[in-house]
A and B are shown apart, each in its own frame.
Chain A
């Protein structure tokens, strides 16, 4: 005879009859795939797998920081990737995704979690999630950098302006990364959510308008998160494949 307490305590024990495990498995798999790909592409292969092709530079390396004192075996991506890594790791959406998929905390709603005790984000290391806004500040700086990289991809040295498939991919990627950053929950708080009186002054009325628009983007933060994650991985792969001669870029230039 099962008691209510027993039913509640057993890990994974749930009376849900739907396939509750599909979503955490799918999202966890997607995140794992990206982490493996980006680690291999940007950090392990690094300099040995060309990341620049004509006017294109992989977004994992944008802006290219390659000081002379850094040994060749260290990838220039290490100067870049800490910022998006920190921003995504502390992101409110991704937290939900990996808490469910990896920490099983909980694996799904109304499905018992395995941990015997729980302190959430109240103790080290998870209390560091509160640093999200500081990674947001850095991510905001990256927006013009990514657009600069996208704009640069329309200009081939020696030939001038042109358009290639790579240029379009880098533009789409810059747009999606920008929207992921601009739909952030911390930014929502910053632009107006932290106010209690929207009507008080012309400035607060303006901030309310910005907050309302940003809220529309924020409602799709999950979508922007996944779209930008896929786009940045695909843009990196495309540039690498072109740079290493695996595929040829369709473009308007004659010598590229």
Chain B
């Protein structure tokens, strides 16, 4: 049976990396090996997990420096004898071992604008066409693993920006509202200064790490930035709005 050489963060901010050798079988993922480590050598190892199927977004960690879901990272992708470093998400306060406090994201979620639906048709129903919501269904795939938030350098390297920057996960949520065919919010509600869209310098790390393959940068952030230009930085559009009386 092959052995994995793991280097796992143990403890809080004053903790350290501890090395372990753990046996594993073909087909296992990193989370399986962490569970075996927990069962055999480190009973007090804290690790958050739930579905083990890449759908709950609980087991996010940094594996060899890259933010990933532990349950979707195959052991077969590592070289024989390679040291596998498993660290907690670094953009969020560490609780212990591999568990971080991601509650900042829930506080940001509370600031997101809600859909304001247009009035229903005469028969009391609201109707939308599939072609109008195709784009947004991509954003609904988000499992809130917060890996995109973790890798985003705007908050990862500059935690002080957490007060002015919502982060890529919430830009998909804003895009979802902004592009909704029945939403009645003014466009400023989704592209306003408060969400920190201008802080994003579109280096695409969020897109690179998204386990659901959502094109966060191209399909959410850049379209929002363009809508923001319409709203705040385009004098020609502003003039047209003024002449036509459109908001």
Residues of chain A at the chain B interface (Cβ within 8 Å) = 1-5, 7-8, 14-18, 92, 95-96, 99-100, 105-106, 109-113, 115, 117-122, 126-127, 130-133, 185-186, 188-189, 193-194, 196-199, 205, 208, 218-219
Residue of chain B at shortest CB distance from A118: B158
Taking the closest CB of chain B, its distance from the CB of A118, in whole angstroms, is 5
The total of Cβ contacts below 8 Å across the A-B interface reads: 141
Chain B residues closer than 8 Å to A198, beta-carbon distance: 129, 131-132, 181
Chain B 169-207 interface mask (CB, 8 Å, partner A; 1/0):
000000000111101000000000000101111111100
Chain A residues closer than 8 Å to B230, beta-carbon distance: 194
Residue of chain A at shortest CB distance from B153: A106
Choose, from B19-27, B32-40, B45-53, B63-71, the stretch at the interface: B63-71
- A113–B157 CB distance below 8 A: yes
Residue of chain B at shortest CB distance from A131: B233
Residue of chain A at shortest CB distance from B7: A15
Measured between alpha carbons, how far is A155 from B233 in the docked complex, in Å?
44
Chain B residues closer than 8 Å to A1, beta-carbon distance: 14-16
How many residues belonging to B are interface residues under a CB distance threshold of 8 Å?
A: 55
- Chief secondary structure at chain B's binding surface: mixed
- B229 CB within 8 Å of chain A: yes
**What are 13 A-to-B residue pairs whose CB atoms are below 8 Å?**
A4-B13, A14-B65, A17-B82, A110-B67, A113-B157, A119-B199, A120-B198, A121-B199, A130-B225, A131-B233, A189-B226, A193-B223, A208-B131
- A118–B157 CB distance below 8 A: yes
- B226–A109 CB distance below 8 A: no
- A126–B201 CB distance below 8 A: yes
Question: When A15-B85, A99-B203, A119-B199 are in contact, do A110 and B65 touch as well, CB less than 8 Å?
Answer: yes
